[in-house]
Structures are given as structure tokens and as C-alpha cells.
Chains A and B, each alone.
Chain A
């Protein structure tokens, strides 16, 4: 027995090797370097700087706001996400995979584009306000959206609901429905079944999704800046202001460290919780768990849910897509009564994308941007899975080992790290051959993988943990090597979760802007980079092109997600 235990530990150590080497080199080393260099500039030393930062009323206010908005945003996201996850997990209906792919698009869109989408819908001259003014004769737009706290919450829900769909929905879709049936046979009503059977079984997946959503909201940057406006600042916004605008590196480092400690705290709580929550389950293939919408009742529920989710997630996308087929017509302005330029339908925004009007050196046709984006995304998926799978496997195998308990929370840290801090860290740490990557495009997929890695781990671990250990033991007893156990038991059973993980890695890479902007080669821009170039210039044509390219980004994302969906390693798991 003792001997076997040691063997297991050694297997785990080897599994940890690649993920930890990667994190050490591309995360801890750059992060440590920039924090050290920043604190070296502090007048009274690091400890003094930290104390001073903590004592500042401004910082306390920012911390309180950061926690408050993240908590509210996470709760609202779960409120919309859990019913949606139920719908996707338990019912089968036509267009479901398209619906799921569409609901994943918000996750990849750059903030400025999302702001444009909401503005087309809820802005002072957006469709909703114009319709309300027309209907009720208001003289002023009745809805104020931009620069409000509500805008922050709505945008966070818009961005992150797909995380709940994917992580909880996928897990739910494999829960054995017989458990529910048994509960009801034993006399429980639907509510009791939900509270006593379903939710406890789902708890690990809900906790994982909530943690990811919370950390995303907690470190929110673009949403706060663009939709929240100047009256709101999260820690991440304050770090940017201190580091870039004021060049107060010690203060920025102290804040970055603070944000990191909060993230670590959350991750530790999560690890503790999830250790108690996870239980081995007989996961069932989806074809046994899902039913068609046969009764009127179920059709009604499904229609209501689809409508609700679409209103939040898909209507803004549609508004954006419609906007890309229109242009403001300068000539028609004087004729129109309301004093605003009128929109006309056109394909010019798309035609213009393929024209290099200024013969500028860094012009890239949309095909190039799409190819570059897909290239980086593919690399991120491969690298993310190659590193995330062994880490998740190690976490799942030895859930209660010291290594797992120590490393699990640490894996979440890249998500809670200030992007600007890490970006500056790359500059000072990776500056000597063979790792002089400061100007290398290889840094792009590496940076994307850092963000994707926690997602891959969180998607895979609950599924891997729910595999009955007896299956593994039986395989081992029958003489299977650890690798055979992996390839014949674990991998097939978590096929779906692998797809979820791959989808996350793909989405993160294809939508990432911050890190890419700092390191991408200008002649090979990704789609988000190209969008920003157009948004940064005045003139109707540039804005139109940004909208057209955003619509292309949505299309590429949806296509990519559907393609991953079709990639049926999952079939293996559907026994």
C-alpha cells in the first residue's frame, strides 16, 4: 500500500513538470521581476509601500467597489446562466448548437465593440430609445445606459454567462437523470429535488464557474473604462492609471500584489470548498440525459428561456451586425427632421476592408487578419490542452495530496494578474537569449495560453474528479499502465470536457487584445487589433470598417466553436 502511494505521487510529479515549468518561466519569473524592479523604486521599501497603499482611503474605496461590483455581477451571471445551463443540458431542440455558439460570441468581443453594440441598442439614439420616444412622445431619451453602474453589470453578464453555460451546462448534461427520477419516486417535489439532489451534485461545477466569473469581473478593465465611465475604477483600472499615466510603479506594484492576494484567497477558498463538494458520479452520455421538447409545458419553458437569454446575449450582437451593413449618409442629414444623420443600407463597409486607401505599410486585408487570428488560436488550443490536461489529471488523481492542495489555487493566479503589470514584466525578464522574447510574436500564444490555462484546468478537473476511482483501480488491477488508464478511462470519459476546454482556449485567444497589442507584429494583426486601428481614426468609413470587421470576428468565432463542437473525440465518451 505504502509503495503504491509513492508511485502515484511520482506520476503526479511528472504530470506537474510541464505546466509548472511553463508557469515558472512565463508567469512567475516575469511577474517577480517586475514587482521587484517596481518596489526597488519605492522610497521606503516594499513593506512601507504596501502599508501606505493599504492605508489610502482611495485604495480602500477602489477595493470595496471592485469586490462589490464583482459579487453583484457574478450573482446576476449565475441567475441568467443556471437556467440557461439547465436548458442546454436537459433539452434537445433544433438549432441548439448554433444557439450555444452564438451565446459564446460575447466572450471574445473587444470592449469598444461591445460598447458600440449596446449603444446601437440602448444609446441616446439607439433603437430602444428611439422607439420609446416615438411611442410615448418623450422629448429626451428615457434610458440612460452608458456611464452607469447598470451598464457595468449588464456588460459583465453579457460577457461571462457563456462560462456558466459551458462549465455547468456540460456537467449537468452528464448527470444521471435517474437520480432525479429516484428522488421524485421517493416523494420529493420538484423544488426539493432541485435543492437536495441536483444542486448538491452540480455544486463543484457551479463553484468552478462562479470562481472564473468572479475573477473575470474582479479584474475587469475595459468594461469599467468604456461602459462604466470615469466615475468607476476597479483595482485593475487603478493599476493602469498608476503604472502608465502616472508612472508610479511602486504604487502600481502594491496594487497588483493586492489584487493577486485577493485572487489567491478566492482560489484557496474554492479549493477547500470543492474538495468537499466533489463526489464520484456515474456520468451518463448526453443521449440518455436529454429529451426532446414534447410537452407544451417544456416547450413553453424552453421558449421563455431562449427568449430571455437571446435578449441579453444575442440581440446586442444582432444590433452590431446590422450596424455593419449601414452607414451614416452625410447628404441626407438636412432632410431628416430629428437632426441626426440617417443610416442607409450598404455593403461598402465590407468592400472598403479590402482596399488600402492610404497605401499604408501595415495594411492587412481581412483574410490575413483572420488567418493570423486562427493561427494564434490553434496554437493556444494545442498549448493550453497540452499543459492543462496533465495538470488537471494530477489534480484529479490526488485530490488531497499536498501538491494538489498547494498548486490548485496557484493555477488560478494568471487570471487575477494585472495585464499591464505582466506585460511590463515580460520586458524586463525575458530579455536575454535564448529567451529574448520581448519582440517575438511567439509571446502572443504564450500570453494567450497563460489566460487559457486556468480555464482548461477548471473545465477538465470537475469531470476528471467525478470519474469513479474504481474504474481506474480496476484498469490498474488488470495491468493497465498509468498511461493506458489515461487513454482508456480518463480521456474518453472527459471527451466533452476536453471540447469545452478547447472552446475556451480558442475563444480567449481569438478575442484577446491587451497582450496582443503589446507584442503582435504590425504587418500581421489579429482581427481585434485591426478593429482597433479603424476605431482609432476619425471618419465614417473607419467606423464602418470597424463594425464590419467586428461582424467578421463574430462569424469566425461562431464557426470556430461549431467546428470544435463537430470535432467528435466526444463520441468516444458517449458510451
Chain B
């Protein structure tokens, strides 16, 4: 009998060894190798969502400056990552959390997962971005969610592109708009908030009913809306809810070099909602000093200037310069629709239910 046990456990051990080996599989050839753990060097763990990206040399510069290994821990989409951070509050899985946005900020603050940190870098960041007065969550970047349109479609049809949210309910734009479901998509929620900020809690449902009457198409995710339904990528809808940074991305990721973006953004009359992303030091970290250094680094010019081309978001640090293509091809809205994190947290459930009732049923 013991023999059989050994046999089974051997099998199990083989399996586990294979797993372990799978994880140290081949080193990527093109990406620079991650700095090996030099003896005495520490590890800083940064928990984030799976859209996180950075240049290899920007990350390496931090690692060599502080003799530290930075371990990035993508933990699912923004909401999932935050919930994981909240559930591991007593025994944090990481030292720093990056990627909670203003639609989720209240949840992070009321669950009390961050330690206060008055970073000296905050001096370079406009007050409008600092939504947590106690500096537990520090602003890192922002992005505007706005209606985008396919320029070629409107040129070909000889139709004036829409300029405001009100235009979208006019008969000439019937059947042209595709939006994302706010219950399942982050830009979808941002656009719902844009309509709430623009038309108020009394008016937004009527606006949505007019959109439905004007044959708006609702899909669950940005990928389906942008890659499938949007005319610029082979669909039938020339107006889509996407990001203010989508036009420069179209140029940077064009299949053949193009002089200007095939798409443009509607920014006038509070048609956009601004998503601001925050970083915070997780309560219970054993690396408070390093965590502070990392937060400073994220808010400093090098990292801030790296973000646009890596994550297609805009720097909050006023000293950071935008890459050329960004500066050239983006329209940053002067006036965005405003809804504060506390109001979002208090009403999210009710708004989503009311929206579902008005739009889907």
C-alpha cells in the first residue's frame, strides 16, 4: 500500500515540477531580460489591471536606481483587480496598487486599502485631478471617453459630422451610433456618466430614450463596438464611444503609414467624461520607503511621458510633454461632464438599473 501512495505522489510531484518549469520557460528574445535579483536587492510588488504597460528602459531605470526588482502583478480588469486588492486587505499581496479610476475611487477609499502619502510630486499636478484630499489615492493619468466618428463616412455621405451629444439624437444621425453597456464596460459607464453630467439626473434618461428612438446599438464591450461595429473597421456604425486617444492610436498603429487619423473625436459641449486613474500605497506594506519612491517615479516626468504611447492615457504632471503624434492628433476637451466619485458610488446601482430599464427593455 505505501508503495502505491508513493507512486501517486510521484505523479503529483512530476506534475507540479512541470508547472514550475513551465513558469521559468524561455526568456523573451526581444524584450530586455528582467534584472536578476542581485543579492541584497529587494522586490517591490505593484498590483494593477491588465492594461498596464511601460517601456522596458523606463522600468529598468527605476530598478537600477534603487537596486530593486519591480514585480508587476496584472490582476484582471480594473474592477476585478481592485476587488482583489480589497479582499487581500489584511495581508496585502502587493506594496502598491495602480489603476483605480474615479468611477471606482469611492470603493477603494471606503474599504480603506491605501495609506496616506503626500508625494512631493503632487506639486506639479493640477488640483482638479486630486479627488482624494487626504492623498491616499494619487492621480497618475487621465483619459477622456468621447464619441469618435469615422471621417471618411461623413465625407462620402456629404453629411456634417455631429458636434455635440444633442446632435446624436437628430434624425440625420439615426442608426449611426454604437455604445457600450455601462454594466459591463468601462467606457460604457463613462459615457453614461457623461450623459448624467451633461443632462443631469432628471434629464439623462430622456436623452437615452431619444437615443433608443434614434436606433442606438448597444454592445457589451469596447472590442465589439470598436473592432466590429465601427465603420472604420468594417462595421456599419460610423459613430462609436471610445477614447480621446483613439485617433492618434489609429495613426501609430496604421497598417500603412497615414498622414492623419481616419477618425475624430466629438469634444464640444461636455460630450466627454474624464477618467482619472490613481495609484496608492497598500496598507500593511513592508516596503513603505520603496513604495513611496515608486509613487514618486510614476508621477515624475520620465514615467509620465512614457505613458501616452504605452497605455494611451494622458499625463497629469504639467511638466510632462506629449509625444508628437499625441500633441498633433488629439483634441483635449476644455469642458468635460463632471460627476464626483461619491455621487457615482452612491448611485451606480440605481443608475445602471434605470438605464437597463430605459434602454434594453
Q: Does B207 contact A (CB under 8 A)?
A: no
**B residues in contact (CB < 8 Å) with A:** 1, 4-5, 7-9, 11-12, 14-16, 18-23, 25-26, 28-31, 34, 45, 50-57, 59, 71-77, 79-80, 83-84, 86-88, 91, 93-94, 107, 152-153, 155-157, 181, 183-184, 217-224, 226-228, 231-236, 242-243, 246, 249-250, 252-256, 258, 262, 309-310, 312, 348-349, 352, 356, 360
Q: Given contacts A14-B1, A18-B12, A123-B228, are A359 and B348 in contact (CB under 8 A)?
A: no
Inter-chain contacts of B19 with A (CB < 8 A): 376, 379, 383, 441-442, 444-446
Contacting residues of chain A (229-258) with chain B, CB-CB under 8 angstroms: 229-231, 240-241, 243-248
Q: Are A368 and B87 in contact (CB under 8 A)?
A: no
Number of A interface residues in the complex (CB < 8 A)? 102
Q: Are B9 and A123 in contact (CB under 8 A)?
A: no
Q: Given contacts A383-B19, A543-B227, are A523 and B31 in contact (CB under 8 A)?
A: yes
Q: How far is the CA of A483 from the CA of B6 in the complex (A)?
A: 13
Q: Are A424 and B34 in contact (CB under 8 A)?
A: no
Q: List 21 A-B contacts (CB under 8 A).
A: A17-B5, A17-B8, A18-B9, A18-B12, A112-B224, A146-B228, A225-B221, A245-B183, A247-B86, A248-B349, A330-B255, A333-B262, A339-B231, A360-B310, A367-B29, A375-B18, A387-B12, A438-B88, A518-B76, A523-B31, A543-B227
- Distance (whole angstroms) from the CB of B116 to the closest CB of chain A: 23
Inter-chain contacts of A520 with B (CB < 8 A): 74
Chain A 182-217 per-residue mask, 1 if CB under 8 angstroms from chain B, else 0: 000000000000000000000000000000000000
Q: Given contacts A365-B29, A537-B253, A538-B226, are A359 and B18 in contact (CB under 8 A)?
A: no
Inter-chain contacts of A357 with B (CB < 8 A): 252
Inter-chain contacts of B77 with A (CB < 8 A): 244
Residue in chain B with minimal CB distance to A233 = B183
Inter-chain contacts of A375 with B (CB < 8 A): 18, 21-23, 25
Q: Are B348 and A439 in contact (CB under 8 A)?
A: no
Q: Are A230 and B181 in contact (CB under 8 A)?
A: yes
- Distance (whole angstroms) from the CB of B264 to the closest CB of chain A: 13
- Distance (whole angstroms) from the CB of A135 to the closest CB of chain B: 19
Residue in chain A with minimal CB distance to B234 = A125
Cβ-defined partner of B88 (8 Å) among A22, A431, A518: A431
Inter-chain contacts of B59 with A (CB < 8 A): 361
Inter-chain contacts of B1 with A (CB < 8 A): 10, 14
Inter-chain contacts of B356 with A (CB < 8 A): 230
Q: Does A398 contact B (CB under 8 A)?
A: no
Q: How far is the CA of A263 from the CA of B247 in the complex (A)?
A: 47
Inter-chain contacts of B23 with A (CB < 8 A): 375, 441-442, 444, 521, 524
- Distance (whole angstroms) from the CB of A39 to the closest CB of chain B: 14
Q: Are B184 and A517 in contact (CB under 8 A)?
A: no
- Distance (whole angstroms) from the CB of A34 to the closest CB of chain B: 8
Q: Are B15 and A383 in contact (CB under 8 A)?
A: yes
Q: Given contacts A116-B228, A428-B87, A439-B45, are A535 and B223 in contact (CB under 8 A)?
A: yes
Q: Are A541 and B255 in contact (CB under 8 A)?
A: yes
Q: Are B255 and A386 in contact (CB under 8 A)?
A: no
Q: Given contacts A360-B53, A362-B53, A540-B255, are A386 and B28 in contact (CB under 8 A)?
A: no
Q: Are A115 and B228 in contact (CB under 8 A)?
A: yes
Q: Given contacts A18-B12, A386-B12, are A539 and B22 in contact (CB under 8 A)?
A: no
Q: How far is the CA of A441 from the CA of B21 in the complex (A)?
A: 10
Inter-chain contacts of A328 with B (CB < 8 A): 233-234, 255
- Distance (whole angstroms) from the CB of A323 to the closest CB of chain B: 10
Q: Are A537 and B249 in contact (CB under 8 A)?
A: yes
Q: How far is the CA of A383 from the CA of B18 in the complex (A)?
A: 9
Q: Does A36 contact B (CB under 8 A)?
A: no
Inter-chain contacts of A341 with B (CB < 8 A): 152, 232-234
Inter-chain contacts of B94 with A (CB < 8 A): 439
Cβ-defined partner of B228 (8 Å) among A14, A119, A327, A361: A119
Inter-chain contacts of B219 with A (CB < 8 A): 146-147, 229-230
- Distance (whole angstroms) from the CB of B200 to the closest CB of chain A: 23
Residue in chain B with minimal CB distance to A536 = B51
**A residues in contact (CB < 8 Å) with B:** 10, 14, 17-18, 22, 34, 37, 112, 115-116, 119, 123-125, 141, 146-147, 225-226, 229-231, 240-241, 243-248, 327-331, 333-334, 339-341, 346, 348, 354, 356-365, 367-368, 371-372, 375-376, 378-379, 382-383, 386-387, 390, 420, 423-424, 427-428, 431-432, 438-439, 441-442, 444-446, 449, 482-483, 517-518, 520-524, 532-533, 535-544
CB < 8 Å A-B pair total: 279
Inter-chain contacts of B87 with A (CB < 8 A): 34, 37, 424, 427-428
Inter-chain contacts of A524 with B (CB < 8 A): 23, 25, 28
Q: Given contacts A379-B19, A540-B255, are A427 and B235 in contact (CB under 8 A)?
A: no
Q: Given contacts A358-B309, A428-B87, A538-B226, are A442 and B20 in contact (CB under 8 A)?
A: yes
Q: How far is the CA of A390 from the CA of B91 in the complex (A)?
A: 36
Q: Are A361 and B53 in contact (CB under 8 A)?
A: yes
Cβ-defined partner of A141 (8 Å) among B26, B53, B236: B236
Residue with the greatest number of chain A CB neighbours at <10 A, chosen from B8, B55, B94:
B8
Q: Are B54 and A112 in contact (CB under 8 A)?
A: no
- Distance (whole angstroms) from the CB of A409 to the closest CB of chain B: 23
- Distance (whole angstroms) from the CB of B251 to the closest CB of chain A: 8
Q: Are B223 and A112 in contact (CB under 8 A)?
A: yes
Cβ-defined partner of B156 (8 Å) among A334, A362, A364, A428: A334
Q: Are A333 and B227 in contact (CB under 8 A)?
A: no
Q: Are A229 and B236 in contact (CB under 8 A)?
A: no
Q: Are B184 and A230 in contact (CB under 8 A)?
A: yes
Q: How far is the CA of A114 from the CA of B290 in the complex (A)?
A: 44
Inter-chain contacts of B55 with A (CB < 8 A): 358-361
Q: Given contacts A330-B258, A379-B15, are A244 and B80 in contact (CB under 8 A)?
A: yes
Cβ-defined partner of B15 (8 Å) among A356, A386, A431: A386
Q: Are A431 and B91 in contact (CB under 8 A)?
A: yes
Q: Are A18 and B18 in contact (CB under 8 A)?
A: no
Inter-chain contacts of B233 with A (CB < 8 A): 328, 341, 540, 543
Inter-chain contacts of B76 with A (CB < 8 A): 423, 517-518
- Distance (whole angstroms) from the CB of A419 to the closest CB of chain B: 10
- Distance (whole angstroms) from the CB of B73 to the closest CB of chain A: 6
Q: Are A378 and B22 in contact (CB under 8 A)?
A: yes
- Distance (whole angstroms) from the CB of B349 to the closest CB of chain A: 6
